[in-house]
Each structure stands twice: as C-alpha cells, then as structure tokens.
Amino acid sequence: MKTPTIDFGACTLCEGCIIVCPEVFSLNPAGYIEVADLAGYPEEDVEEAMKLCPVSCIHWEESP
C-alpha cells in the first residue's frame, strides 16, 4: 500500500494539502501537517496535493 508522507523540514505550512485533501491532511496541535492513518488513500486527491505543494514535500511511501 502507498502512504503519503511529508518532509517536515521542507514543509512551509501553506496548508494547501489540507484544502485539497482534508480527509488525509490536517494540522495537528503541535502545528505540523499530519497524515491520517487510513486503510487506503484517495490517490487522485493526494496527487493533486502533491502537485500544488510549493516545495514538493509530499511523497508516496510504499508500505510492506
């Protein structure tokens, strides 16, 4: 399964991913973007968030 991951060192907290794909991305209480723990991710919406990210810090990670 593919899981979206975020490079927190590069993330500018623009929150574009939250606007495009709120079922996957959210802002946690510590002030970082968080990826929801889901059984599956809406690939089209996550891909759109990746395209809109100004610093390209969202990537897919293959889970075993």
Q: What is the pLDDT of residues 15-44, one digit of tens each?
A: 999 999 999 999 999 999 999 999 999 999
Question: Is 51 in contact with 19 (CB distance < 8 Å)?
Answer: no
Local confidence band at 64 (pLDDT 50, 70, 90 cut-offs): confident
Q: Please, which pLDDT band fits residue 14 given cuts at 50, 70 and 90?
A: very high
| Greatest C-alpha distance within the chain | 31
Q: Which residues pair with 5 in a beta bridge?
A: 59
Q: What does the mean pLDDT of the chain come to?
A: 96
Q: Are 23 and 17 in contact (CB under 8 A)?
A: no
Give the three-state DSSP class for 45: helix
Prediction pTM value: 0.92
C-beta of residue 52 within 8 angstroms of C-beta of residue 17: yes
- Local confidence band at 57 (pLDDT 50, 70, 90 cut-offs): very high
